[in-house]
Amino acid sequence: MKVGIVQFPGTNCEYDTQYAFEKLGASTQILWHRETEIPDDIELIVIAGGFSYGDYLRSGAIASKAPIMKAVKAYAEAGKKVLGICNGFQVLTETHLLPGALKRNEHLHFISKHHHLKVASNSNDFLSKFEKGDVVNIPIAHHDGNFFIDDEGLKELYANDQVLLHYCDQNGEISNPNGSVDSIAGICNKEKNVFGLMPHPERAMEEVLGSADGVKMLEGLM
């Protein structure tokens, strides 16, 4: 499998992401933001975390207008898989490949720590290796991770089984670090080929670093 990893000025997790997928046996290619085409052999696109364009305006807003995103949008609309991690999730909402928006954390502080998540749905490739209700431990690192969507949009997410992950404690009880609506940590599109989450599975690949729960997440996309 070959994974394309999108890189903007300010991206800082592209090499972590590259390491994670290569550890799982994939080949990778960094895709610079000025490129206008996705190579034919790319089977998964990942928009990595970081602070694209310095997070000026809204996080992900400038990146959503980069030349490569037109190609990413066409790639996704053709039914191919796209994963957005942290800033990548923000970019996907700004391009309207995913619904909702990511705004400033409720308490206005940058958060960086391991945090537990509960699997809300496994009827998708990303979480297909988990059981519904499984609890995983994945790092978070964000200032604008507060997921927002209106009541009608929230109902639609649940009706279409698009909610992937909830923030929780080690026992699976709700523990919301940033104020996200319904403690949502990750979602997908209706077609279940575009995925976004604020936590960083690429930073949870080895037990010596605190968790290897990210392995099963990324393996689901391969």
Residues noted as catalytic: 86, 200, 202
| Contact (CB, 8 A) for 174 and 167 | yes
Task: Report the DSSP beta bridge partners of residue 148.
Answer: 101
Region at 13 (left for phi over 0; alpha for psi -120 to 50; beta for the rest):
alpha
User: Is 100:162 a contact under the CB 8 Å cutoff?
Assistant: no
